[in-house]
Amino acid sequence: MFKDFVFSILVSLSFFVYSTTGFAAGGTVTGLKMPGQANALEQILPKRTVMPLDGSYAVAEQFIRTTGLHKSLSVLLLDSVKNDKLVENAISQFGFPQVKNTVVSNIKITTNHYRQDWVSLLASIYSEQFNSNTLRSILEDGENSPYYNEFVAMQSKMNTAKMLSDSELFKEARSNLIKTLKKNFKS
């Protein structure tokens, strides 16, 4: 049951990554802002300076790791480079199998390098949107949680994949990945 839950979350995230509707939809992470606090769309930082008082950040971090959402960086990186001119040219020059192995290998290295910052970014987003009881309930009960349907519906509203791909952290990770791939694909 828990594997089905994790799979459904990853499918949801993948859907938003590959969905043009998901990228086109605007919106905010949260409609509520505390005075003087920037909305997460306005300021997505890998290290947050404001942690929720209800402990939801720590629970969100556990949620991200337990559900496998920390792996979303690799999905987003792959999606962003698969049609890049560099990769297309490399396929023509070296063949798909070699390019695929090189890209996958370098994505693994990149995600390992950025993993903790990525988890922190995700935890800050989820802790802003969901309290610790909601996240704990979904972790413990999966699809049977009374919050599960609300959680899934909120994913669409949050447009998490768009927020993540617009983050400075993702842009830096992608830039470093492209630099590494350029070195690998020199003739």
* pLDDT, tens digit (0-9, with 9 covering 90-100), for 39-61: 333 333 334 434 444 578 999 99
- pLDDT given at position 54: 58
- Whether 34 shows a pLDDT value over 60: the answer reads no
Residue 161 lies in a domain: yes
pLDDT band with cut points at 50, 70 and 90 for residue 25? very low
Domain limits for position 159: 2-25+43-184
DSSP 43: -
Domain count, the chain: 1
The residue type of 94 is: F
Lowest mean pLDDT among 30-34, 49-53, 55-59, 168-172: 30-34
- pLDDT given at position 155: 80
- Tell me the average pLDDT of the chain: 77
- pLDDT given at position 2: 40
Residue with tokens 């949107």: 129
Lowest mean pLDDT among 31-35, 46-50, 105-109: 31-35
Going 33 to 39 to 40 to 46, the CA torsion angle's sign is negative
The residue type of 147 is: Y
Residue 145 lies in a domain: yes
Residue 38 lies in a domain: no
* pLDDT, tens digit (0-9, with 9 covering 90-100), for 136-150: 999 999 999 999 999
Going 88 to 71 to 158 to 58, the CA torsion angle's sign is negative
Report the C-alpha gap between 165 and 173 in whole angstroms: 10
Residue 35 lies in a domain: no
